[in-house]
Chain A
Amino acid sequence: MRISEHPILSFDRGKKITFLFNGKKISAYENETVASALTAAGINVLSRSIKYNRPRGFFCGIGKCSSCLMTVDGVPNVKTCVTPVKDGMVVESQDGKGNLPENKEFKSKKETLHADVAVVGAGPAGLSAAITASKHGADVLLIDENPVAGGQLIKQTHKFFGSKEHKAGVRGIEIAKLLLNEIENSNVNLLLNAGVIGYYKDNSHMLAVVQNSKLIKVYPKKIIVATGASENMLAFPGNDLPGVVGAGGVQTLMNVYGIRPGNSVLMVGAGNVGLIVSYQLMQAGINVKMVVEALPKIGGYIVHAAKLRRLGVPILTSHTVKNAYGNGRVEGARIVKLENWKETGEGFDVDVDLICLAVGLTPTCEILFQAGCETKYIPELGGWVARHDRNLETSIKGIYVAGDCSGIEEASTAMMEGRIAGMDAAEKLGFKIDEKEKKDAFENLKTLRSGPFGEKPRIGKEKMWGRK
């Protein structure tokens, strides 16, 4: 189920390899992750849940939900969606809790690194922050737990909106390439496959980072947290069946790894993410049966909706999914009609093998909360966020936020926030910055938030800054 032809993308899969899944030989490519290779081989059940032994599949595809835990080379609880597959690897589906390997060699290493600025997360916000701080002379360490940098941006094949200077008309993947190129040509030290597992106070700020079997202590003067967001789950019976996946997860499979996650899809949510991913699914040759949206109106841009309609995909507003059914994996869903958020009694079944959830995101703030940053609940920003000032600095001096983890928005604002945070951190470290550049960044951010779709975050940020 690999995509062989795509109107926009070509896939660099690397060398062909084989690995063992529950004793069976499976072929894959070296640039795939374990979970994506298994999906390509038509395997949907990755493990079974701890308590009720229910089948579990892939959900977020970006290492945030733990739905893809498997035993890899004897080691239990491995997040297979961010683990590169290797020739000869032994992968086993985990039946509930894991077992430990008995006589496995494990050599751990330790390292200590210092930096002016440590940026956590290499999505558009983190990349921009790192580039900006480095450009002004700061010594920057950029850390991401994925095997590839770019965050959510590396799978966005559609063209961006907005004005020219915000890279309108350019596809997300192209913007990602530009940013990654800049990183390559900069002095930024990029650590991939490296997860930040905690923030500590050890005289100064300290981040604990785990990269494979290495523990790295990072002592930065400033920290910019750009960890993005995680996709929301929706509560309905059957929501844990393999085949219920996040829209971002599906996008990763299709656009990063060139893998078809299913054959016919129900998309839940008609915001921009739902609409865009539906269109991309059609581009990848996958049948989108319909988009359902609980609100009485479509939330995303009309252009995106129109593209889908032209392809004959119905978008049903005031409809939602009541339950998913299937034997061990999704075989269909019950759709019901709503009026004032209540069921009308009308409903029907739809046969699909994939239910894609695009029902919002929640900021990934664990590191900030652990560090003790003041928090505030702002629904317009996606829930609990770390309170921050206009320069993106939190209540703890020297700890910044940028991008989706400062409040759910979009890639263009994420880049702008990254730039501001990077500049402010550099300035406070004593590097000279161009006042005009900073002013421009603020202006840009304002413009980006001025349209009707910028209203929500605009209100959210104002709530935080204490204006009405």
Chain B
Amino acid sequence: MRGIVSEANNSEAFSEAKMSDVAVIGGGINGCALAYELAKKGVNATVFEKGYLGSGATGRCGGGIRQQFDTEDNIRLVMESVKIFEKMEKELGYDIEYDQGGYLVLAHSDEEKERFKKNVELQRSMGLGVNFLEKEEIKELCPILDVDGAKAVGATFCQTDGHANPFRVTEAYAKNAERLGAEIKTFTEVKGIKKEKRFEIITEKEKMFADVVVNAAGCYSKQIAEMVGVKLPNKPYRHEILATESLKPVLKPMIISFMDGIYFCQHKTGQIVGGIGNPDEPSGINTESSFWFLEKMASTITRYIPSFKNLNVLRQWAGMYDVTPDARPILGKTNVKNFFVVCGFSGHGFMVAPVTAKLMSELIVDGKTSMPIDNLSIERFKKGVIRKEGAVVG
């Protein structure tokens, strides 16, 4: 069914105001990818972005793509996403600096080891090529890593994990969306939304009417939802990250430890990019860089890879995680008709964006999705019993 969109298009009101089928709020990876997927289905989307494209969490993220989660929803989402990433350069005609160097998830205790073994079982049962590695095998796979310094006792490794450049992916989606007819308005902040027959989107520059609104505003999605009276349980948390000078390739896989809260990789540009979570970080929007982070990151990463002591940090910055109570995203409908949410991605909204965009475009245009996403609907929080994703940092 070209349902929602075509149905609403028939009414003739608001003729002098600008019209769009779908208004997408937020020009991060999720908003841009969704505009593209909608455009592919012949639906006009207008993306509203208050800054530049990628100015939210997207342009500040590490670009990591990891399928090794411990809840089925997350594993399945990223596995589907990887299929899209693998063909993305061809489909979108952009070099996205995609690198499937694999992802090494370190275990630091017997307890963690056991848990990881169970994860591997689950992941393998879903068709993921993942292995458990003993200490010696880690050394073989990643000789530059000081396994003892990192206090690792085992690890899981998946070769098809990797990373890509978030700016390039966002731009690739945005440019292709525009090519197919979407409109992207940067430096245009949505100040309010009125719900009458249609949605009226209020910006400083103009008013605009849309049949469908999608909230992809990252850490501001709570505020956007409030504009139409929808309550979201999300909380914003700062997360910091840094990049070093470029080096010749020295680090193939991306490395993560949930115990230390650290993750890092070497990008195709040669830079080492990584972050570390601060368990004491208070909730709130704050993109200032802290010295605590710089010191903590430096002392931890050089324990993992001692030769990094000779490396200079080029820059550090911070971005916002949009965190839900179970660290899993919120996707789908809300109790306001035709107001959809795509948010709450914590530290992994980049990697799942290609697939969430596809699914959301299906939901909006066809009314149903090719993969179940009911578990990720906002309704789950009302039921009370939620299963928290454990394989996350920060």
A406 vs B48: C-alpha distance when bound (angstroms): 37
* Those of A366-386 within 8 Å (CB) of chain B: 370, 372
A97 touches B291 (CB 8 A): no
| CB-CB nearest in chain B for A50 | B246
A197 vs B310: C-alpha distance when bound (angstroms): 16
- From the candidates B250, B290, B291, name the one contacting A100 in the complex (CB within 8 A): B250
Smallest CB–CB gap between A436 and chain B, Å? 41
B289 touches A100 (CB 8 A): no
| CB-CB nearest in chain A for B305 | A100
Q: With A50-B270, A198-B294, A208-B294 as known contacts, state yes or no: A100 contacts B245, CB within 8 Å.
A: no
Assess whether A108 is interfacial by the CB under 8 Å rule.
yes
| CB-CB nearest in chain B for A213 | B309
Contact-residue bracket for chain A: 20 to 34
Smallest CB–CB gap between A215 and chain B, Å? 8
| CB-CB nearest in chain B for A210 | B312
Q: Which residues of B contact A108 (CB under 8 A)?
A: 309
B289 touches A97 (CB 8 A): no
A98 vs B272: C-alpha distance when bound (angstroms): 13
Assess whether B167 is interfacial by the CB under 8 Å rule.
no
Smallest CB–CB gap between A259 and chain B, Å? 27
| CB-CB nearest in chain B for A71 | B310
Assess whether B17 is interfacial by the CB under 8 Å rule.
no
Q: Which residues of A contact B295 (CB under 8 A)?
A: 215
* Those of A60-107 within 8 Å (CB) of chain B: 74-77, 96-102, 104, 106
- From the candidates A50, A200, A215, A370, name the one contacting B290 in the complex (CB within 8 A): A200
B291 touches A101 (CB 8 A): no
Q: With A198-B294, A201-B288 as known contacts, state yes or no: A75 contacts B310, CB within 8 Å.
A: yes
Q: With A100-B307, A102-B307, A106-B310 as known contacts, state yes or no: A76 contacts B247, CB within 8 Å.
A: yes
Assess whether B248 is interfacial by the CB under 8 Å rule.
yes
Q: With A76-B310, A102-B307 as known contacts, state yes or no: A208 contacts B291, CB within 8 Å.
A: yes
Assess whether A111 is interfacial by the CB under 8 Å rule.
no
Assess whether B1 is interfacial by the CB under 8 Å rule.
no
Assess whether A202 is interfacial by the CB under 8 Å rule.
yes
Assess whether A206 is interfacial by the CB under 8 Å rule.
yes
Smallest CB–CB gap between B105 and chain A, Å? 24
Smallest CB–CB gap between A210 and chain B, Å? 9
Q: Measuring CB to CB, which residues of chain B are less than 8 angstroms from any residue of chain A?
A: 245-248, 250, 270, 288-291, 294-295, 306-313, 316
Given A100-B308, A202-B291, A370-B289: 7 more A-B contacts, CB < 8 Å: A77-B245, A96-B248, A97-B246, A97-B270, A99-B247, A100-B247, A202-B290
Q: Measuring CB to CB, which residues of chain A are less than 8 angstroms from any residue of chain B?
A: 50, 74-77, 96-102, 104, 106, 108, 197-198, 200-202, 206, 208, 215, 217, 370, 372
Instruction: List 28 contacting pairs A-B, 8 Å CB cutoff, sorted by A.
Output: A50-B270, A74-B310, A75-B310, A76-B247, A76-B310, A77-B312, A96-B248, A97-B248, A98-B248, A100-B310, A101-B307, A102-B307, A104-B307, A104-B310, A106-B306, A106-B309, A108-B309, A198-B289, A198-B291, A198-B294, A198-B316, A200-B289, A200-B291, A202-B290, A208-B291, A217-B291, A370-B289, A372-B288
